[in-house]
């Protein structure tokens, strides 16, 4: 993509570039995912949609275009100095998504969308750069990571709304699993999980049931009991400690729920597991 870098290797945030296109026809190949934004009408772009069909549109002001790596498109500039801000999203940044640690993020193209929160974040990052990083490199990095997280949440929400989707997609399911497994003692509410993914509570519950074949409450209970089984086998911790560590209110509550699910008391399960491994 013909763009001039605004930042260099000393910059601690996402790479920033500027497109300045005079009238002409351009062939654009996207190697690194990019987020493009402009204050005035932009190019006329012809690009494949998610179903492989070519669509044509003019880039509107105050809207974003997200182009994934590998996208090839034609663009026409019919005015002098068509300016666009480009925020590059290289792999090393996509691999540090805070809610999915260690998981590489697969961005997909999304055109002409508006998001006031993302606009504020991009404004903060670019303003901080123009001002010479007065708050330091840590601030540039923090805002950049928040931009990546916001882009991913918007993608999850868009996929959940997509007509062909059934249930939460794979990345949304991993996010739910991470949120629950890391907070068994105080699991996130349904509203909090829906907010993390970026969709409404009602839709979240419906798609959650499809994906996990359980309600959120049933799923959390299932994960607590699974963790309890692991601790019963792998440790000699008192049952009361295991109950509290896995989010149950008391030993009695834990024993009742465990027996209902496993058909045996926690102590009986522990004894049976020890007998099974002694031979």
DSSP 106-140: ----EEEE--HHHHHHHHHHHHHHHTT-TT-HHHH
Q: What is the mean pLDDT of residues 124-137?
A: 92
pLDDT of residue 11: 94
In this prediction, residue 122 carries a pLDDT of 93
Percent residues over pLDDT 90 in the chain: 28
pLDDT attached to residue 242: 93
What is the predicted pLDDT for the residue at 98?
45
* 67 DSSP β-pair partners: 34
Predicted confidence at residue 239, as pLDDT, reads 93
pLDDT top residue among 81 and 272? 272
Q: Give the confidence band of 123 by pLDDT, cuts at 50, 70, 90.
A: very high
The enclosing H or E element of 83 equals strand 82-88
**Per-residue pLDDT tens for 17-76?**
988 877 777 777 788 899 988 887 766 777 666 555 677 767 778 889 898 888 877 777
- Per-residue pLDDT at 228: 93
Strand, helix or coil at 104? coil
The whole-model pTM stands at 0.57
Question: In which band, very low, low, confident or very high, does the pLDDT at 16 lie, cut at 50, 70 and 90?
Answer: very high
Per mean pLDDT, which range of 78-82, 88-92, 136-140, 158-162 is the poorest?
Answer: 158-162
pLDDT in tens, 143-155: 998 898 888 878 7
CA distances 85 to 42, 102, 273, Å, are 11, 29, 61
pLDDT band at 100 (very low <50, low <70, confident <90, very high): very low
Nearest to 1 by CA among 25, 30, 41, 42: 30
> Are 215 and 187 spatial neighbours (Cβ–Cβ below 8 Å)?
no
Sequence-ordered list of residues with C-beta below 8 angstroms from that of 253, at least 6 positions apart, any chain: 243
Mean pLDDT, the chain, rounded, equals 82
Rounded CA-CA distance 111/48 in Å is 11
When pLDDT is averaged across residues 232-259 and rounded to a whole number, the result is 90
Q: What are phi and psi of 255, to 5 degrees?
A: -65, -40
pLDDT band at 208 (very low <50, low <70, confident <90, very high): confident
């Amino acid at each position: 993509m013909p763009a001039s870098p605004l930042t260099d290797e000393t910059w601690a945030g996402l790479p920033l570039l500027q497109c300045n296109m005079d009238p002409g026809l351009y062939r654009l190949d996207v190697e690194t995912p990019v987020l493009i934004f402009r204050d005035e009408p932009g190019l006329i772009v012809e690009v494949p949609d998610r179903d492989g069909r070519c669509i044509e549109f003019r880039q509107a002001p105050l809207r974003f275009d997200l182009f994934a790596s590998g996208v090839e498109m034609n663009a026409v500039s019919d005015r002098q100095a068509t300016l666009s801000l480009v925020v590059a999203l290289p792999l090393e940044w996509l691999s540090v998504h805070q809610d999915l640690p260690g998981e590489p993020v697969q961005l997909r193209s999304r055109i002409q969308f508006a998001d006031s929160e993302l606009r504020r974040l991009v404004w903060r990052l670019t303003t901080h750069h123009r001002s010479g990083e007065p708050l330091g490199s840590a601030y540039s990095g923090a805002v950049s990571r928040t931009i990546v997280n916001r882009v991913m949440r918007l993608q999850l929400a868009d996929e959940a709304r997509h007509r062909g989707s059934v249930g939460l997609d794979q990345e949304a399911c991993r996010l739910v699993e991470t949120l629950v497994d890391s907070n068994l003692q105080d699991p996130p509410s349904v509203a909090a999980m829906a907010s993390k993914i970026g969709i409404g509570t009602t839709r979240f519950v419906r798609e959650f049931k499809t994906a996990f074949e359980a309600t959120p409450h049933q799923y959390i209970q299932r994960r607590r009991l699974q963790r309890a089984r692991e601790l019963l086998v792998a440790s000699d911790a008192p049952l009361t400690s295991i109950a509290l560590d896995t989010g149950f209110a008391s030993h009695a509550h834990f024993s009742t729920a465990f027996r209902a699910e496993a058909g045996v008391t926690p102590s009986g399960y522990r004894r049976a597991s020890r007998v099974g491994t002694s031979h």
